[in-house]
């Protein structure tokens, strides 16, 4: 499995040298699976559109913050657009679905990280998405994204996905880490890695929890994973400080949440019950977080000894900051600032085996 997945990643990344990236990625899927040209083309289009949407959302959030808006205000504006044509009852059910699945994702993450069942959900005093109460609801979403980012950072460190720096260095991978955050090359790179992951899914090489995921869900999981690896590198080489790295990740996760909402409602025609929640659980739950970390680690292996070493250092620094503020997330968990319980290790090792660690 290890060499096969690495080979798939290698093939997909090599297409970055092409002048016809999309066409070559379609061919890569067709040549490495039993899928026909039309299906392969549809997968690549879905991946490209998803990566573009996440990038567009993040850059839009960044501009909004530069103009004085808060992250919460930006997200409220975006949710308003999605629900504007719904009845009041449908709006309420829609936002409740988002909340419930963010709650579930975080509580499941807690169990995996600390091996303890602690409910950190907060009941909304009023679940109606209207008037001033809209801000309360979106504030809750923002809080949960912060919690998810902190728990994800701890999982990244304690998942034991050490980057083996003995692998061959691939120039295209090294360029990804050395490029600025959110460069156009980032989009191309994430598209290629997402294609590799889709091929692995079709060859039955991914964990069971990812087998039924759509190309859009896979793309967002990959986006999170390889972005986390890049942030760790940027922190370790001095381009970011630890708090900026965490803040960037929260912003990025906010952009991904809106992308998941928009993608699910577009893909399934309006607000289809359960579909939005399914996307959120796939991306922000423990399975998606661990898989994203594993994929980021596979990519990091090809970045060379210097870059790989810095990624390892950066992951530990971000996790240290996350643990220092984790008490605000899970004040009832005594093991927050000490060693992480065995739950995460056993869970991660199960996922890791599918990626050859």
DSSP class of 240: S
Three-state SS sequence of 288-332: HHHHHHHHHHHHHHCCCHHHHHHHHHHHHHHHHHHHHHHHHCCCC
Nearest 10 degrees: Cα torsion 316, 112, 139, 248 = 20
Kindly give, in sequence order, each residue whose CB lies less than 8 Å from that of residue 345, ignoring residues fewer than 6 positions away: 158, 159, 160
pLDDT of residue 33: 95
pLDDT of residue 339: 41
Average pLDDT estimate for 68-97: 93
Average pLDDT estimate for 67-82: 96
- End-to-end Cα, the chain, rounded Å: 10
pLDDT of residue 163: 63
pTM for the structure as a whole = 0.89
Least confident of 122-126, 170-174, 216-220: 122-126
pLDDT of residue 7: 84
Q: Is the pLDDT of residue 117 over 70?
A: no
Average pLDDT estimate for 80-89: 90
Share of the chain above pLDDT 90, in %: 49
Average pLDDT estimate for 65-91: 94
Widest distance between CA atoms in the chain: 57
The answer to whether 349 and 123 have CB atoms below 8 angstroms apart is no
pLDDT of residue 207: 83
Q: Is the pLDDT of residue 327 over 70?
A: no
Q: Is the pLDDT of residue 50 over 50?
A: yes
Q: Is the pLDDT of residue 337 over 50?
A: no
Helices 286-301 and 275-284 pack at an angle, to 10 degrees, of: 50
**Helix (H, G, I), strand (E, B), or coil: what is residue 201?**
helix
Tokens encoding 316: 């530990």
C-alpha dist (Å) from residue 76 to 258, 262, 270, 284: 10, 13, 18, 19
Range 225-236 burial, b when 16+ CB lie within 10 A, else e: bbbbbbbbbbbb
Least confident of 68-72, 290-294, 338-342: 338-342
Q: Is the pLDDT of residue 235 over 70?
A: yes
pLDDT of residue 340: 42
pLDDT digits (tens, 9 = 90+) for 285-321: 988 988 898 888 888 888 888 888 898 889 888 888 7
Average pLDDT estimate for 217-244: 94
Q: Which residue has the higher pLDDT, 144 or 337?
A: 144
User: Cα–Cα distance between 82 and 85 in angstroms, integer?
Assistant: 8
Kindly give, in sequence order, each residue whose CB lies less than 8 Å from that of residue 314, ignoring residues fewer than 6 positions away: 231, 232, 233, 234, 235, 236, 245
| Spacing of C-alpha 344 from chain mean position | 18
User: Cα–Cα distance between 265 and 287 in angstroms, integer?
Assistant: 23
> For the chain, how many helices (H) and strands (E)?
14, 0
Mean pLDDT of all residues in the chain? 85
Q: Is the pLDDT of residue 116 over 70?
A: no
pLDDT of residue 334: 45
Q: What are phi and psi of 294, to 5 degrees?
A: -65, -40
């Amino acid at each position: 499995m290890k060499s096969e997945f690495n080979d798939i990643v290698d093939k997909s990344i090599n297409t970055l040298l092409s002048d016809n990236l999309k066409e070559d990625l379609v061919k890569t899927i067709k040549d490495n699976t039993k899928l026909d040209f039309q299906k392969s083309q549809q997968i690549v289009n879905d991946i490209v559109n998803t990566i573009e949407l996440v990038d567009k959302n993040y850059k839009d959030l960044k501009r909004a913050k530069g103009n004085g808006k808060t992250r919460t205000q930006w997200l409220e504006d975006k949710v308003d657009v999605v629900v504007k044509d719904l009845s009041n009852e449908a709006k309420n059910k829609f936002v409740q679905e988002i909340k419930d699945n963010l709650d579930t994702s975080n509580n499941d993450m807690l169990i995996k990280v600390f091996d303890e069942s602690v409910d950190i959900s907060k009941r909304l005093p009023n679940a109606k998405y209207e008037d001033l109460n809209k801000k309360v609801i979106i504030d809750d979403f923002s809080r949960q994204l912060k919690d998810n980012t902190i728990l994800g950072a701890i999982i990244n460190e304690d998942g034991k996905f050490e980057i083996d720096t003995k692998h061959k260095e691939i120039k295209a991978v090294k360029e990804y880490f050395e490029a600025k955050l959110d460069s156009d090359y980032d989009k191309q790179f994430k598209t290629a890695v997402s294609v590799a992951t889709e091929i692995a899914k079709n060859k039955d090489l991914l964990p069971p929890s990812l087998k039924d995921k759509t190309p859009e869900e896979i793309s967002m999981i990959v986006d999170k994973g390889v972005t986390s690896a890049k942030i760790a590198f940027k922190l370790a080489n001095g381009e970011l400080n630890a708090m900026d790295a965490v803040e960037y990740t929260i912003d990025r996760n906010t952009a991904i949440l809106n992308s998941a909402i928009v993608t699910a409602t577009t893909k399934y025609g309006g607000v289809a019950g359960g579909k939005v929640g399914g996307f959120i659980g796939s991306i922000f739950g423990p399975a998606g977080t661990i898989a994203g970390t594993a994929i980021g680690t596979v990519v990091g292996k090809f970045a060379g000894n210097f870059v790989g070493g810095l990624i390892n250092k950066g992951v530990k620094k971000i996790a240290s900051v996350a643990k220092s503020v984790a008490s605000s997330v899970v004040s009832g968990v005594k093991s927050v600032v000490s060693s992480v319980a065995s739950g995460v290790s056993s869970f991660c090792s199960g996922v890791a085996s599918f990626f050859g660690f």
